[in-house]
Structure 1
Amino acid sequence: MIVPEGTDVVAATAALLAEGIGDGLPVVPPTPSRVAAALEGVDDPDAVLGLVPPLFGSLTPRLVATCCVIAGAPAAALPVVLAAATACLAPELNLLGVATTTGTAAVAVVVSGPVGARIGLTHRTGMLGPGPHTNGAVGRALALTLATAGGVRAGETTMATTAQPARYTCCLAADPDGPWTTPVDAVTVLPIGGTAEVLPRDDYPDPDAVLEALADALAGAVRAAGDLGRGGEMTQAVVLPPEVATRLAPTFPEVDALVSALRERGAAALGGRPCAAEILPIVAGGPGVKMLHLPGWMGGSRPVTLAM
């Protein structure tokens, strides 16, 4: 995967794609000096940390560092991407199913704690869109790592009927000053089926106006799965901008209470059937009240959090 010093972008992109490495976008050439810089401080770059499905290639710090370079992520992001890739190997995430499904599942990573700011991530306006922040590069580095180590190639080992843009990158940073957050550096990985905007009801800022809108979104994802019984297998996430989270916090001082309320209302909307196996609230975003729903993957998965 290493290319000679001085290799230009076009040549490096073509050479890597010929080996089945890359996502079709231009790459930063992974030269020996760039990879070595990313690996600075790593004791054993070739230590095998696990096997990545579907073809069970080895996950090593060297491979992750190379993918960080290819994706344009800063060298300081290596511990975050390495932790996220390691978390993806937990059995409860079901990475084999995610990698081989005909559905649209993509792995999202949520970075919590001060580490996000240290490596240039943003939790504010436009965090999932283009910008000067590194969210896109870090998410891309994780996607490239899983695809490269797992042997994923479009039309071969990946069977997604359409796939989705989040398979290129999906990285969020949690607001360190939001309610329910802790100052601990951690990464959480979870498969998602896409993104959908959610607006509070007209009587906002009443908390019920927020809860009902989110509950309808959770229930809608289960209905879209085509089988109401699958709600108990789906992990669903909701991104709450700071203004909304601040409105909810006095009613729900503990995040578990908010999750319970969402679970209860979502189930009611489904006639008593479960709306999610787990519900993950994430406080992030810029000004405004427009929330984001990350519908879960219907194939069955649980989020995995790894402290750093």
Structure 2
Amino acid sequence: MITVPEGTDVVEATASLLAEGVGDGLPVVPPTPSRVAAALRGVDDPDAVLGLVPPLFGELTPRVVATCCVLAGASPEAVPVVIAAARACLAPELNLLGVATTTGTAAVALVVGGPVAARIGLTHGTGMLGPGPHTNGAVGRALALTLATAGGVRPGETTMATTAQPARYTCCLAEDPSGPWGTAPDSVTVLPIGGTAEVLPRDDRPDPDAVLDALADALAGAVRAAGDLTRGAHMTQAVVLPPEVAARLAPTFPARDDLVAALRARGDARLEGRACAAEILPIVAGGPGIKMLHLPGWIGGSRPVTAPT
């Protein structure tokens, strides 16, 4: 794994690493030996092979992850979370080879649940997918850099996305632990997404129909937009529900599975028998307000993977 000499400045490190195929085009924190060593503190075997990362099937090791955490500006405490997320991405059902080589816009989103999210500085609140004093951007970027570096991803060579999307730089959020359906203790969930879209309840009615109808339209719309490409594919779709929206739904849907079933039924009804998703993943996160977020699934076929950290 590439390191740079102590004292190398940001501009020089960014340019030299990019020439070697390491980086995402944004400035990086120089991965000096001392910084990488600090990120590896507590790791028993930094060079243990944890799996092979497509598309070129390079080795995933703790050293690769730690170096990419340094590059991204993520703290050493985030290394175990990024390791868990990267390993989860190698599960066959996620189809990382397809994600890495598609001409589509697929990007891996990372959802962190449990107390570990707060320990590494992630937020589940206002502006969680944007800039701020939280570490969401750095941790998501560390995962993206890990997959690209170990997998040998180079735009125009091993990856052929027609346009790509900003989530390929980073997409990481934490799940609100106080949500009505709870959250898994210290876990990561990874899923390929095609982008993000804002969804608003149909009106101010207090009943859940105003929320469900809007979400069902979004789920069905993503399938319609993809046309026949979704037939037979395991297209997963996620919806991010702000806490006050989740609280509105919870009395009617005391279990998360109840909500999923209702969303699936409404979405499928809009598609004349076609499935709106192979899997629907509701996530409680966000600040004050009722504006929801739809994470349309990658149409190439993928299922989310959840793993402990």
TM-score range, shorter chain: over 0.9
Change (3 A) 1:271 1:61: same
- C-alpha RMSD of matched pairs (Å): 1.0
Match runs of 1:68-87 below 5 Å = 68-87=69-88
Match runs of 1:114-133 below 5 Å = 114-133=115-134
Please, which moves more after superposition, 196-205 or 65-74?
196-205
Q: What amino acid is the match of 2:260?
A: V
Q: Does the residue aligned with 2:206 lie in a helix, a strand or coil?
A: coil
Q: Tell me which residue corresponds to 2:24.
A: 23
Q: Tell me which residue corresponds to 2:203.
A: 202
Match runs of 1:224-303 below 5 Å = 224-227=225-228, 229-230=230-231, 233-303=234-304
Q: What amino acid is the match of 1:147?
A: A
- Contact 2:233–2:302 under 8 Å retained in 1: no
Deviation, structure 1 residue 183: 5.3
Change (3 A) 1:40 1:228: closer
- Contact 1:229–1:273 under 8 Å retained in 2: no
Aligned-partner Cα distance in 2 for 1:116–1:73? 13
Aligned-partner Cα distance in 1 for 2:230–2:164? 24
Q: Tell me which residue corresponds to 2:168.
A: 167
Measured against aligned partners, the alpha-carbon deviations of 1:200-246 in whole angstroms (never above 9, x if no partner) come to 01143210110000000000000010227537521000000000001
Deviation, structure 1 residue 294: 0.1
Q: Tell me which residue corresponds to 1:12.
A: 13
TM-score by length of 2: 0.98
Spell out structure 1 runs of 4+ moving beyond 4 A. none
**Alignment gaps of 5+ in structure 1:** none
Q: Tell me which residue corresponds to 2:147.
A: 146
Deviation, structure 1 residue 271: 1.0
Measured against aligned partners, the alpha-carbon deviations of 1:146-196 in whole angstroms (never above 9, x if no partner) come to 000000001100100000000000001000111112350000000000000
Q: Tell me which residue corresponds to 1:35.
A: 36
Change (3 A) 1:20 1:27: same
Percent of counterpart pairs with the same letter?
85
Q: What amino acid is the match of 1:83?
A: A
Q: What amino acid is the match of 1:235?
A: T
Q: What amino acid is the match of 1:304?
A: V
- Contact 1:222–1:231 under 8 Å retained in 2: no
Change (3 A) 1:263 1:232: farther
Aligned-partner Cα distance in 2 for 1:125–1:288? 9
Aligned-partner Cα distance in 2 for 1:47–1:285? 37
- Contact 1:231–1:275 under 8 Å retained in 2: no
**Alignment gaps of 5+ in structure 2:** none
Q: Does the residue aligned with 1:226 lie in a helix, a strand or coil?
A: helix
Tell me the number of residue pairs that the alignment of Structure 1 and Structure 2 aligns.
308
Aligned-partner Cα distance in 2 for 1:95–1:205? 41
Aligned-partner Cα distance in 2 for 1:285–1:88? 25
Q: Does the residue aligned with 2:262 lie in a helix, a strand or coil?
A: helix
- Contact 1:229–1:274 under 8 Å retained in 2: no
TM-score by length of 1: 0.98
Q: Tell me which residue corresponds to 1:220.
A: 221
- Contact 1:108–1:166 under 8 Å retained in 2: yes
Aligned-partner Cα distance in 1 for 2:170–2:272? 35
Q: Does the residue aligned with 1:184 lie in a helix, a strand or coil?
A: coil
Q: Tell me which residue corresponds to 2:99.
A: 98
- Contact 2:233–2:300 under 8 Å retained in 1: no
Q: What amino acid is the match of 1:251?
A: T
Q: Does the residue aligned with 1:260 lie in a helix, a strand or coil?
A: helix
Change (3 A) 1:232 1:57: closer
Match runs of 1:42-57 below 5 Å = 42-57=43-58
Aligned-partner Cα distance in 2 for 1:160–1:89? 20
Deviation, structure 1 residue 96: 0.1
